[in-house]
A = this chain, B = another copy of it.
Amino acid sequence: MQPIVFSDFNPAQNALEESLFHTANGYLGVRACPEEGAPAGVPSIRGAYINAFYDIKPIRYGEKLYGFPETQQGIVNLTDVQNVRLYLEDEAFEPLKTGEVLAARRTLDMERGIVTRFIHWRSPGGREVEVTVRRMASLAQRELFIMHYTVKAVNFAGRVRLVSREEGAVTNFADPDDPRVAGEALQHLRVEEVRPLPAGGLIRSRTIASGLDLAVAVGYTPPASFTLGVQAQPTALEAVMEGSLWQGQSLTMVKHCVFADSRRHGDPAGAALRILAEASARPVLHYESLQKEMLAAFWRRSRVVVGGDDALQSSLDFSLYSLYCSVGRDAVSSMAAKGLSGEGYEGHFFWDTEIYVFPFFLLTDPALARGLLDYRHTILPAAREHARLMGHPTGALYPWRTISGSECSGYFPSGSAQYHLSGDVAHAFLQYYYATGDLQYMAERGGEALVETARLFLDAGHWHEGAFRIGAVTGPDEYSCVVDNNFYTNAGAQETMRGAAMMTRRLREAGLAGQLLAATGVTQEELAAFERAADAMYLPYDEKLGIHAQDDGFLKLAPLDLAAIPRENFPLLLHYHPLWLYRHQVCKQADTVLAHFLYEDLADEGIMRRSYDYYERCTTHDSSLSTCVFAIMAARLGDLGKAVDYFRQSATLDLDDAHGNTKDGIHTANMGGTWLAITAGFGGLRVKPDGLHLHPRLPDAWRAYSFPLTWRGSELRVHATPAGCRVELLAGDEQSIWVYGQPVRAALGQAAELPIPQ
């Protein structure tokens, strides 16, 4: 597998590269910041994060109305362990500021899970040095982050000093003019103790408002023959390592950093010190081997291969690797919009998880997928409270953006109003059930979320002239807010209510409904009401255009010629007042088109086609969640050339910094969408009540493609080549699936080649 390599030395894109080359393991993420610090003028967002480790801050309003959240959570920038200053005699290694960079290279090795920064630098005094920094966030030991800092004296001999500093006085990043990041730079961590140890130390901190504890234990292994002195400062640890290098010699300092927080550890400091002791006692190779093994298993389960386009293949690899490194692996965390790579969207969890990311894990690593559902179960009480606040006497309304469960949106029209999120969560629970048949899980957790979200929709909607309508919600497209009968939302509400009724009945039949009934008290009358409302769900449809309307009003709004808008005015949200956007037929992202993917039985092919064409003209793709959906639906509709174009846009979005804000973090939903574009798009994959459906198509642009799936405990691989489509059973039991609508049996050594329809 080709690594991701950036060998341009371009300080102007430093912050972007910090995101792309961050190291993460689902628990911990460390941006790839220059160890020596970024000088003025070099963009840098120095950060490290623990998934769902948050502080609380007030939300201020120009006018605060009833029910507006008073506080929000925000991911906390952790104790900064990245600082290593290097001195060659009296000269500081400052390649971003002075001297001459002779070569530079950033490398992400996705088979080994290691990021490397290499710089060959000539100091103003003429000393040439090669610095190589390797970083790893251990997949096997989530608290562990290891840095190797190697110095090679190319053309000189002399004293070398390394100063490693762990700084506890940190703030979060902010940009008051960009609604997609925090508006105010705040300090969230207060240092409680700095404890030096013989070859390392401990910094204990507490978040200021949420009162969560963080312990960071550090162990230094200085280069052989170097002296080591550790000093505690009020908010920092500083280790000075000194020694000499002869010309051509290279020496390595190793730093083990262990992060432990009180959301996962009863005694974070104790845990950090214990893990540090274990890790320090083992050779680094131990963790590197484990890392490689885990990644090998990951790639076996997950790697999508597209023949004939190496750059695209790399982008794809990067997407899936990033997803794996970003996803939360416990019940208090999920997948943040930027993973653990930056502070964009403040570490919040959105619908991105359920709709864009969850399917990837569901079909490659179902245990991780279940973890994402566990998180939704964890915050169900908060979602109930949220529903009450929003005026619903029953049900659960999942917050639009949250970490700990309460709504963090400071602008409800494109926040709390996105009721579809509750339908998205219900959809994920149902997909999990359809994919795994795990009735026990539904009995313990899934059923409750389904019933509570169904109740929410039943209460949010009302009957009018024989139809069940839902007013005043916002669909996925945030360029139309607070509308009536958003097609996407109503379709999701319909599925949710039907799903809740179906699941409750199935659990009853299986004698497994006890826990659900105890938790919800759901009655037969309620189930019947769910079904009546679902059956009568109003799904706006325009007879003349032959398409579903995004909402009651959308098709009557002012049309907008997107081509007439200057390129620099995109994304529109940064250049037009929301009212102007709301007044026009313009979409930030796929909305109805997405509904036709998720709820495809609601529309026939003709509607889907016309809908795709109509909304494509309206859509700016200002959201990174858009192009992948157009890719899926273009493939679904047989427009494979266009599908490849959209797919390429999705796949390369971060590496090309196409949205200009990857500096604030990678776009994890888009990465999940990239996987969906291949599997659900070209592969035609759907998870339905009757099982796994495939409908592979092969675009002209590619020789072939293939992707693995984990299905009911078996490992499959789907191949699409000019010779046809083949579903290979790699491990596990035989499986019955559907290909092109026909039942197919996937068995070892038997993989019939089915012709790909033109």
Report how far A460 CA is from B580 CA in the complex, Å: 9
Beyond A482-B481, A558-B462, whether A578 also contacts B64 by CB under 8 A is: no
- State which residues 46-63 of A face B: CB under 8 Å: 59-63
A215-230 CB contact bits vs B (8 Å, 1 = yes)? Answer: 0000000000000000
Beyond A552-B552, A553-B484, whether A582 also contacts B472 by CB under 8 A is: yes
User: Is A176 interfacial (CB 8 A cutoff)?
Assistant: yes
Interface stretch, picked from A136-144, A149-157, A192-200, A412-420, is: A412-420
Report how far A580 CA is from B583 CA in the complex, Å: 22
A411 / chain B contacts, CB cutoff of 8 Å: 61-63, 65
A63 / chain B contacts, CB cutoff of 8 Å: 179, 183, 409-411, 415
A65 / chain B contacts, CB cutoff of 8 Å: 179, 411, 573, 577-578
For A63, A415, A460, which residue has the most chain B Cβ atoms within 10 angstroms? A63
Interface stretch, picked from A66-74, A429-437, A678-686, A732-740, is: A66-74
CB distance from A110 to the nearest CB of B (A): 35
Beyond A577-B65, A577-B391, whether A556 also contacts B484 by CB under 8 A is: yes
Partner pick for A68 among B59, B62, B582, CB 8 A cutoff? B62
- State which residues 155-178 of A face B: CB under 8 Å: 176-177
Partner pick for A61 among B61, B389, B391, CB 8 A cutoff? B61
A464-496 CB contact bits vs B (8 Å, 1 = yes)? Answer: 100001011100000001101000000000000
A282 / chain B contacts, CB cutoff of 8 Å: none
A183 / chain B contacts, CB cutoff of 8 Å: 61, 63-64
- State which residues 554-613 of A face B: CB under 8 Å: 556-559, 573-580, 582-584
A558 / chain B contacts, CB cutoff of 8 Å: 461-462, 464, 469, 471
User: Is A390 interfacial (CB 8 A cutoff)?
Assistant: yes
- Cβ-defined contact, A557 with B484, below 8 A: yes
Beyond A484-B556, A557-B484, whether A61 also contacts B62 by CB under 8 A is: yes
- Cβ-defined contact, A64 with B179, below 8 A: yes
A462 / chain B contacts, CB cutoff of 8 Å: 557-559
Identical copies in the complex: 2
Report how far A690 CA is from B625 CA in the complex, Å: 59
A67 / chain B contacts, CB cutoff of 8 Å: 576-578, 580
CB distance from A380 to the nearest CB of B (A): 20
A66 / chain B contacts, CB cutoff of 8 Å: 573-578
CB distance from A14 to the nearest CB of B (A): 26
A72 / chain B contacts, CB cutoff of 8 Å: 62
Partner pick for A64 among B68, B176, B413, CB 8 A cutoff? B176
A580 / chain B contacts, CB cutoff of 8 Å: 67, 390-391, 472
Report how far A575 CA is from B389 CA in the complex, Å: 9
Report how far A484 CA is from B484 CA in the complex, Å: 11
Report how far A747 CA is from B552 CA in the complex, Å: 58
For A464, A481, A552, A556, which residue has the most chain B Cβ atoms within 10 angstroms? A556
A579 / chain B contacts, CB cutoff of 8 Å: 390-391, 412, 416-417, 472-473, 482
Beyond A67-B576, A482-B579, whether A556 also contacts B469 by CB under 8 A is: yes
Chain B: which residue is nearest A473 at the CB level?
B579
A511-531 CB contact bits vs B (8 Å, 1 = yes)? Answer: 000000000000000000000
A460 / chain B contacts, CB cutoff of 8 Å: 583
CB distance from A686 to the nearest CB of B (A): 33
A64 / chain B contacts, CB cutoff of 8 Å: 176-177, 179, 183
Beyond A460-B583, A471-B553, whether A410 also contacts B484 by CB under 8 A is: no
- Cβ-defined contact, A583 with B472, below 8 A: yes
Pairs A-B, 4 closest by C-beta atoms: A62-B410, A60-B60, A67-B577, A391-B580
Known: A63-B409, A66-B573. 6 other contacts (CB 8 A): A60-B62, A64-B177, A67-B577, A68-B577, A461-B558, A469-B558
Residue contacts A-B, CB under 8 angstroms, 19 given: A60-B62, A61-B61, A61-B183, A62-B72, A62-B410, A65-B179, A65-B577, A65-B578, A66-B574, A66-B578, A67-B578, A67-B580, A389-B577, A412-B579, A416-B579, A462-B557, A462-B559, A471-B556, A552-B552
